[in-house]
Amino acid sequence: MDWGALHAILGGVNKHSTSIGKIWLTVLFVFRVMILVVAAERVWGDEQQDFICNTLQPGCKNVCYDHFFPISHIRLWALQLIFVSTPALLVVMHVAYTRQEKKRHFRNSEKINIEELKNEKIHIQGALWWTYTSSIFFRIVFEAIFMYAFYYMYDGYQMPRLVKCNAWPCPNTVDCFVSRPTEKTTFTIFMLAVSGICILLNLAELCYLVIKVCVRERRKST
């Protein structure tokens, strides 16, 4: 059970997405999940081991590390990716529910090819439009919340080289050195940039859906 499971779950969403939605899904898996797994996890792998404080006082290093890194960047990113992917499940559930209803309706009236029903493309209109739009809205909200959480927790997006710590049991103010600060800053900015691109894609998809519905309504009224 790993990121592959998320890929399997979201694969079903791909069929019912707009083109922008498909691009968003690709960007999510290629530039966020893949980068997290193959590169970022290695950079943060030795973060506590190589967090060094200029003191021999036992426990000081642990306490300082915990004070400056309440939750590691890697864990926050993993949570962000999961929360941001989950609204898409609303669409999957809605489509499954619609298919179930159709199957039940046809079972009562006449026989129908089950395979045909499974592969029938469901258009984004009516109730599905509302579900789809709400899922995009929630995605944008979750992305924004996590970006703000990063900014708030770490006072910006830069990883400092040196932090001064005077939490108990450190004897006085002690210098503590973070491992690989420049590499971590680079990856933080990269992930931030890709989050920004994902937010823009979601906004574009939202505008596209709203415009599509307005055009359809105008055509119906004329």
Partner 1 sequence: MSWGFLRDLLSGVNKYSTGIGRIWIAIVFIFRLLVYVVAAENVWKYEHDEFECNTKQPGCENVCFDHFFPVSHIRLWALQLIIVSTPSLLVVFHVAYRESREKRHNQKLYSSPGKMDGGLLCAYLVSLVLKAGFEIVFLVLFYKLYNGFRVPRLVKCDMRPCPNAVDCYISKPTEKMIFLYFLVATSGVCIVLNVSELSYLIFKYSIKCYMKTFSEKQQ
Residues that bind partner 1 (CB under 8 A): 2-4, 6-7, 19, 22-23, 26, 29-31, 33-35, 37-39, 42-43, 46, 50, 52-55, 121, 161-162, 175-183, 186-187
Structure tokens at 75: 């864990």
For 165, the enclosing helix (H) or strand (E) is strand 162-165
Give the Cα separation of 149 and 126 in Å (integer): 35
If the CB atoms of residues 48 and 138 are measured against partner 1, the closer one turns out to be: 48
Distance of alpha carbon 187 from the chain centroid:
16
Query: What is the amino acid identity at position 12?
Result: G
Q: How far is the CB of 176 from partner 1 (least distance, A)?
A: 8
Q: What share of the chain is helix, strand, coil (3-state, %, to 5)?
A: 70, 5, 25
If the CB atoms of residues 19 and 172 are measured against partner 1, the closer one turns out to be: 19
If the CB atoms of residues 129 and 177 are measured against partner 1, the closer one turns out to be: 177
Q: How far is the CB of 49 from partner 1 (least distance, A)?
A: 8
If the CB atoms of residues 20 and 136 are measured against partner 1, the closer one turns out to be: 20
**Within a 10 A sphere around the Cβ of 42, how many other Cβ atoms?**
11
Q: How far is the CB of 181 from partner 1 (least distance, A)?
A: 6
Q: How far is the CB of 197 from partner 1 (least distance, A)?
A: 13
> Under a CB-based contact definition with an 8 Å cutoff, are residues 40 and 74 in contact?
yes
